[in-house]
Amino acid sequence: MKIKVINRSQHSLPEYQTALSAGLDLRANLEEPVTLGSLERKLIGTGLFIELPEGYEAQIRPRSGLAFKYGLTVLNSPGTVDADYRGEIKVLLVNLSTQAFTVENGERIAQMVIAKHEQIEWLPSESLTDTERGAGGYGSTGKK
Ligand SMILES: O=c1ccn([C@H]2C[C@H](O)[C@@H](COP(=O)(O)OP(=O)(O)OP(=O)(O)O)O2)c(=O)[nH]1
Ligand SMILES: [Mg+2]
């Protein structure tokens, strides 16, 4: 599937890193490195603008390596890019570690998954179909 893109970044277009990757790694597009102190959050630009077809969204997700090694994650994960959004794709990073982390220009900071979604119509009702689970949740089935 082809997606229209404007690349105003200093970097090449995001790529799938392996043959069957779901996510395209997004690179920070920075004039200078950005440091996130412990528990600090910052919006990082990618310089990318896309036009998704109707019925598709782009999800902005953390990279597990950065999360595991540095406590760096996407605060609003998964970020949602709507099909009618025409602004720059940005990544809201948060540093959940005790150490500062510096993001360098061009660093792969997050990944973007393009996904199909539905838009629904409400069917207002007085009751819902019975199920075995009923209202049980939040650990109702136990641990083991
Ligand atoms: O990680 C993200 C999340 C969102 N966006 C852009 C695309 C999305 O279509 C728009 C709005 O996002 P969202 O609906 O999550 O934010 P909101 O706080 O509800 O803002 P709005 O009132 O503009 O919808 O911001 C990004 O670039 N990166
Ligand atoms: Mg919104």
Helices (H), 6-136: 64-70
In a domain, 136, yes or no: no
Which one of 80, 112, 114 would you pick to mutate in the ligand 1 pocket, going by the greatest count of ligand atoms within 8 A of its CB?
A: 80
Q: Say whether 71 counts as a known binding-site residue.
A: no
**What's the structural domain count of the chain?**
1
Report how far apart the first and last C-alpha atoms of the chain are (Å, whole number).
42
Query: Is position 97 within any domain?
Result: yes
The predicted model gives 34-40 an average pLDDT of 98
Percent of the chain at pLDDT > 90 equals 100
Could you tell me if residue 104 is inside a domain? yes
Taking a C-beta distance cutoff of 8 angstroms, is the pair 42, 32 a contact?
Answer: no
Atom of ligand 1 nearest to the CA of 91: 1
Q: Which domain holds residue 109?
A: 23-116
- Per residue in 79-130, pLDDT tens? 999 999 999 999 999 999 999 999 999 999 999 999 999 999 999 999 999 9
Q: What is the CATH number of the domain that holds 99?
A: 2.70.40.10
ipTM entry: 0.98
Average pLDDT of 23-39?
Answer: 98
Four-point Cα dihedral 77, 78, 83, 88, nearest 10: 40
